Structure 1
Amino acid sequence: MSDVISVLNARATLGEGPVWVAREQALWFVDIKGHKVHRFDPATGNHRSYDAPCQVGWVLPSDDGKFIAGLQQGVARFDPATGAFEVIATPEAALPGNRLNDASVDAHGRIWFGSMDDSEAAVSGRLYCFDRGEVRESGLAPVCITNGPAISPDGCILYHTDTLGRVIHQVPVNDDGTLGAPAIFATIDESDGWPDGSTCDAEGFVWIGLWGGWRARRYAPDGRIAAEVRLPAANVTKIAFGGTDLCTAYATTARKGLDAAALAGQPLAGNIFAFHVDVPGAPGNLASLG
């Protein structure tokens, strides 16, 4: 792996949800607390941001050439040409204190996404599946903060994170899109921070961002730690693989919760970082609208 470099001075309060969009050769990500969607073209250095109407947990490319976004109030279509958001599903209309947090797309075009208590106190976060316009609950037990989820390259395993519990679960994905019984994949020591977003590479290894841990970590499919990459920011939120060979790892980070002294010690917090990996990421999928 190469050295870590800062490639975008994003200064995000809560940078999250990086996703490489192959049709544009661009990295998209969000600043949840800044109410922003961002697009970054590494080849040109061009960076553009879009205002979201509220907190936005993720943005993912869809098969109509546009995007699906996870807003605080629900799932929305997002059109970069106009900057407009159109809410199409509100799975937690009865839980105004919740917000959507993280998501990924499987090979069938289904979006797996989670919610969380915005005050990080109530056990009200759930995992959902958005399947061609309809949202259903996953059946997994609620937690305070859901993270991930990540899908194995063969589509057979979903990795689901209980951030405050410091546990990552692996869950079988059945042929019909339902989930089997979860099992513990990995636990995170208190000294290593909290597990945040996750993604899988082409070998089925799982990359985890560690909030408060100053690092991203690669786990083997059997749950052992295979590698770590240290970053110059404490709050590492998620990894995405980009470039024509998917061998550039991009990391989102956050300034949230850092006081003036902490920020003085990590002035690059909130930026986008990049490093080279020998094993490429798994190719991304497009969300299906049916």
Structure 2
Amino acid sequence: MISPECIWPLGAELGEGPVWSTGEKAVYFVDIKRKQVHRYATETRETMTWPAPSEPGFIVPADDGAFVCGLRKGLYRFDPRTGAFDKLKDVERDVAVNRLNDGFVDPQGYLWFGSMDDEEKAPTGALYRVSERGEIERRDDGYVITNGPTTSPDRRTLYHTDTLAQTIYAFDLDEHGALSNKRTFIKVQGTAHPDGMAVDAEGCLWVALFGGGCIERYSSEGTQIDTVAFPCSNITKLVFGGDDLRTAYVTTALKGLSPARRERETLGGGLFAFRSPVPGLPQNVMTRGLVRER
């Protein structure tokens, strides 16, 4: 049995998007609804928090030592040394109800991210990739809530989540970032909704279940092979870290819980960790298309 430990009971309203900083041995993640970026140093347990100008859907490391952060209406460079956010690119300025959501850097250094209807009603969300020249390229659309883009170890499959439809899709992915052969990979049953996800070194997919109180592990064929239970309902995403990439760091959320549930789930919104039986894949760094808008 895998037993997650709450390592930072910060009570995030919508904790999301953990990434691993190898050099700092730290986890960075966001609280979307409280407009915050957080850092947890795994060796010293030191914590830091920065305010963001608008809702940060994701944060990913960049090759200049800073981070790229997807705020409500654009991509920004975030420097934790100063706390400054500098705009790189506008995204979907013409879709008022939308905001950016989950993001991921692929092994080639390209950023993938999604948008969503912030009211969680209309299929106005889309999946994007940032090109070599910094252009925002739409790769798929028709989503209410996008989540969890990630790729297989051989880089030939991209997984992407339609959270409201409880569906994880698989796409064929070529070396130029083109997607084809969209198909249903996992259909989650019951009342839980698939949120963020990560792939391990064996090619298995670990899926955080919002409202499900667990993370489920699936084989590369889509068969469920393991479950990690948590003492709170809303599990949002995980990242593999540590020197051996076998420590999973997991974000959770209080969003959507009634006052009574919030009182019962005392660790809801906390940052958790557990040891994985297999290592994950290394944290990728954004090296392509980091172009400042002029």
| Aligned match of 1:87 | 87
Shift of 1:91: 2.3
Partner SS state of residue 180, structure 2: coil
Report 1:87-236 matches (<5 A): 87-132=87-132, 133-138=134-139, 140-191=140-191, 193-236=192-235
Q: CA RMSD in A?
A: 1.0
Instruction: Give the 3-state SS of the residue equivalent to 2:122 in structure 1.
Output: coil
Aligned to 1:60: 60
Counterpart CA distance in 1 for 2:41 and 2:197 is 22
Flag structure 2 segments of 5+ consecutive residues without an equivalent: 290-294
| Alignment match, 1:237 | 236
- Aligned amino acid, residue 274 of structure 1: A
Aligned amino acid, residue 67 of structure 2: F
SS of the equivalent of 1:180 reads strand
**Deviation for aligned residue 1:218:** 0.6
Letter in 1 for 2:135: E
Contact 1:170 1:184 in 2 (8 A): yes
1:289 is displaced (CA, Å) by: 4.2
Provide the rounded CA distance (Å) in 2 between the counterparts of 1:226 and 1:204: 12
Q: CA deviation at 1:89?
A: 1.3
SS in 1 for 2:239: strand
Deviation, structure 1 residue 176: 1.2
Aligned counterparts of 2:107 and 2:129: Cα–Cα separation in 1: 13
Give the AA of the match of 1:269.
Answer: G
Distance 2:162 2:180 in 1: 17
- Flag structure 1 segments of 5+ consecutive residues without an equivalent: none
CA distance in 1, matches of 2:246, 2:44: 18
Summarize deviations over 1:13-65 as a string: whole Å, max 9, x none.
00000111112111000000010001101110000011100000111000111
- After TM superposition, the structure 1 stretch with the greater mean CA deviation from structure 2, 54-63 or 77-86, is 77-86
SS at match of 2:159: strand
Secondary structure, aligned partner of 1:262: helix
- Matched residue type, 1:285: N
**2:27 aligned residue:** 27
1:245-260 alignment, distance < 5 Å: 245-260=244-259
Equivalent position amino acid for 1:225 in 2: Q
Matched-pair contact (CA < 8 Å) for 1:25–1:41: yes
- How far apart are the structure 1 equivalents of 2:166 and 2:231? 22
Secondary structure of 1:263's match?
A: helix
TM-score, L = length of structure 2? 0.96
Which residue number corresponds to residue 264 of structure 1?
Answer: 263
Structure-2 separation of matches of 1:241 and 1:40:
14
Sequence identity (%): 44
Deviations 1:245-270 (A, max 9, x none): 11111110000111211012211100
Inter-partner Cα distance in structure 2 for 1:99 and 1:181: 27
Report how many aligned residue pairs link the two structures: 288
1:264 aligned counterpart, secondary structure:
helix
